[in-house]
Amino acid sequence: MDVPNIVIVGGGFAGVEAARGLERALAPTDARITLVSPTDYQLYLPLLPQVAAGVVTPQSVAPSLRRILRRTELVPGAVIGVDPGAKVCVVRKITGEVVDLSYDYLLLTPGSVTRTFDIPGLPDEARGMKTLAQAVYLRDHVIAQLDLAAATSDEDERAARLQFVVVGGGYAGTETAACLQRLTTAAAKRYHPRIDPGLIKWHLIDIATKLLPELGDKLGASALRMLSGRGVQISLKTTVASVTEDKVTLTDGRVLPSRTLVWTAGVAASPLVDSLGAETVRGRIVVEADFKVPGLDGVFALGDAAAVPDLAKGDGSYCVPTAQHAARQGRHAAKNLAALLGGQPMTPYKHKDLGLVVDLGGHDAVSKPLGIGLKGVSAQVVARGYHLYALRTGVARFRTGANWFLNAVAGDDFVRTGFLAGRKGTLRDFEHTDVYLTPEEVAARTRA
Ligand SMILES: Cc1cc2nc3c(=O)[nH]c(=O)nc-3n(C[C@H](O)[C@H](O)[C@H](O)COP(=O)(O)OP(=O)(O)OC[C@H]3O[C@@H](n4cnc5c(N)ncnc54)[C@H](O)[C@@H]3O)c2cc1C
């Protein structure tokens, strides 16, 4: 069948919504839809901290792409380069085999990776919170620290194993510190009578002057009070100067003996963006308000990887990298592409932010739906209701709801899976940022 091939790169919030929208808007005789993704699920990242804390299981936040999509063809792999001139993607399958995939239209939605800085030791020691494997690994690692601390008679080692450092006071870092602090406190109380609870220390560090700046001053201050009340030590205007296997040195001069540094200090667009040789702003690919990449025929970009003009703000800024924008951009891009194929005009994307929910575990939460500031139980109800609504399949919603119920009545067993034992599990190990080709390498391959 000689129909245009639409290739979507990435099966996250933007990619999946685009594929669903295209399946609805176009008949199989209008276009072929192909989605390239290293995973066969759509990861619901906002609940990753709860996976790390064992409140929900990994399966609950990983709805199957095959359940969500009807006729989109799935290619299991990652696009490691794009030749926009030849209209070819270079795909590295999950087996390692590298193949070329031609497209007529390309939707780039590869999302983002953890943003790092030139800090000594960071690439080798920091653990991230961007993939399912990272969340599961972090859980294993934290539980292992408790087990090892309980088993050692060396007081220095015990203190270091019970001191945890999280960098990043946005929603990812704040939720991670909050959820894992609850895990360690509950685990020590229930299963480790030999551990002095006073030895368990959680630090939340950020270079900014406020926690959760996205929520405004009042709610950010509420979250700070909730966490401080639970014993989390929050240090603002501070970051990490260096890190080794057993200590974290902060820019204010403090040296924290610790075996755990969780790094959630922002995101950077997928390195795939660099292989196109297109214009970028702060690493994100520059697009027009209808997602077209200027100068590249048939190429669109959206989600975290793209700098989409924020027309709702109208101040020349770009949409912030959130699931809220990515999913809506995906739906809008599908409409635009269907319009383009039908000879109709495309329309610009405009969406006013609906707010943010931050679950700090237990009854602690802060949220700002439609500009209304909430904290405590009401915020928690809004947060959990929003997550259930936003999860893509009924099965995932049911699993997540059942997990919350079971965790509330029966608690956690605090067991390690052991699947990743023996691997350090650093950012590089899990985010595969070193597999991408340069524009020259792509051209040499596709035009050989
Ligand atoms: C811990 C955490 C909590 C968060 N909480 C919230 C929240 O509460 N509210 C909110 O709005 N946002 C939240 N976010 C941000 C939100 O998850 C992202 O903005 C959103 O996922 C971006 O969607 P996306 O489709 O651009 O990328 P993603 O959803 O990350 O999807 C990218 C997809 O592309 C795939 N991929 C990557 N590289 C390639 C490649 N080379 N080839 C093929 N496929 C590739 C990935 O495997 C993935 O499937 C949170 C993020 C984190 C990490």
Q: What is the pLDDT of residues 64-75, one digit of tens each?
A: 999 999 999 999
Spatial neighbors of 278 by CB under 8 A, at least 6 apart, are 84, 285, 286, 293, 294, 295, 296, 299
Domains of the chain listed by start with CATH number: 5-114+268-352 (3.50.50.100), 122-265+355-429 (3.50.50.100)
Q: Is the pLDDT of residue 141 over 90?
A: yes
Confidence of residue 428 (pLDDT cuts 50, 70, 90): confident
Indicate which residue's Cα is closest to atom 31 of ligand 1.
12
Task: Tell me the average pLDDT across 321-337.
Answer: 97
Task: Tell me the average pLDDT across 279-292.
Answer: 96
Contact criterion met (CB below 8 Å) for 359 and 384: yes
Ligand 1 pocket, residues with Cβ under 6 angstroms? 9-15, 36-39, 43, 45-46, 48-49, 78-79, 109-111, 129-130, 171-172, 270, 272, 303-305, 321-324, 326, 356-357
Higher pLDDT, 387 or 124: 387
Q: Is the pLDDT of residue 423 over 90?
A: no
Indicate which residue's Cα is closest to atom 37 of ligand 1.
110
- Return the SS3 of 441: helix
Q: What is the pLDDT of residue 358?
A: 92
Q: Look up residue 269 and give its two tokens.
A: 């667009």
Task: Tell me the average pLDDT across 181-200.
Answer: 94
Share of the chain above pLDDT 90, in %: 88
Indicate which residue's Cα is closest to atom 39 of ligand 1.
110
Task: Tell me the average pLDDT across 389-417.
Answer: 95
Q: The whole model's pTM is what? A: 0.96
Task: Tell me the average pLDDT across 78-101.
Answer: 97
State the chain's mean pLDDT as an integer: 95
Q: What is the pLDDT of residue 409?
A: 95
Task: Tell me the average pLDDT across 341-356.
Answer: 94
Spatial neighbors of 321 by CB under 8 A, at least 6 apart, are 112, 267, 303, 304
Distance 151 CA to ligand 1 centre (A): 38
Confidence of residue 422 (pLDDT cuts 50, 70, 90): confident
Q: What is the pLDDT of residue 113?
A: 94
Contact criterion met (CB below 8 Å) for 104 and 8: no
Q: What is the pLDDT of residue 432?
A: 80
Cα–Cα distance, 235 to 251 (Å, whole number): 11
Helices (H), 53-151: 65-68, 122-125, 132-151
Q: Which class for 96: exposed (0-12), middle (13-18), buried (19 or more C-beta within 10 A)?
A: exposed
Spatial neighbors of 179 by CB under 8 A, at least 6 apart, are 49, 50, 52, 53, 55, 359, 360, 361
Cα–Cα distance, 152 to 168 (Å, whole number): 31
pLDDT digits (tens, 9 = 90+) for 29-61: 999 999 999 999 999 999 999 999 999 999 999
Confidence of residue 1 (pLDDT cuts 50, 70, 90): low
Distance 305 CA to ligand 1 centre (A): 9
Cα–Cα distance, 44 to 392 (Å, whole number): 9
Task: Tell me the average pLDDT across 421-426.
Answer: 76
CA-131 nearest atom, ligand 1: 53
